[in-house]
Amino acid sequence: MNNINSKEYKSQFDEEEKAHDIYERLFIFSERILDIVDLLNDKNVNNILCNQLMKSGTSIGANMEEADGAATKRDFINKVTISRNEARETKYWLKLVSRKYVDKEELIDDIQEIKEIIKILSAIINNTKNPKKHN
């Protein structure tokens, strides 16, 4: 990957797919994070920063996979909450990278995507905690 332009990334989902498969959406987002980290490594960006972005950005989907196998409702909510916390951390790292190391426009779609993911994860938590309010 020579640049981190997100046009190819955006085309991997149409709006209908985005709305229906959070697990696939998170997997594709993780792949995107790995692409961004590869480019940052090519630019000799601090390894600690790259590792933080990689860890938080890829753990969102991993924690959701764990949530999918949760034995109890409480465990499910806990795992989704961890995913949301990792998403928030990822948003922070993406914003930092976009201000310091790359043109802001190159990551604007990724920052928008992580904001949407945070909203979806929050909705999953709220709907699981209070199912009667959301039916």
- Give the pLDDT confidence score for residue 11 in this predicted structure: 45
pLDDT tens string, the chain, 135 residues long: the values are: 445 555 454 545 454 454 468 999 999 999 999 999 999 999 999 999 999 999 999 999 999 999 999 999 999 999 999 999 999 999 999 999 999 999 889 999 999 999 999 999 999 999 999 987 655
- Give the pLDDT confidence score for residue 23 in this predicted structure: 95
- Alpha-helix runs per DSSP H in 43-72: 47-68
- Give the pLDDT confidence score for residue 134 in this predicted structure: 52
Instruction: Delineate the domains of the chain, giving CATH numbers in brackets.
Output: 15-134 (1.20.1440.60)
| Other beta carbons within 10 Å of 114 | 26
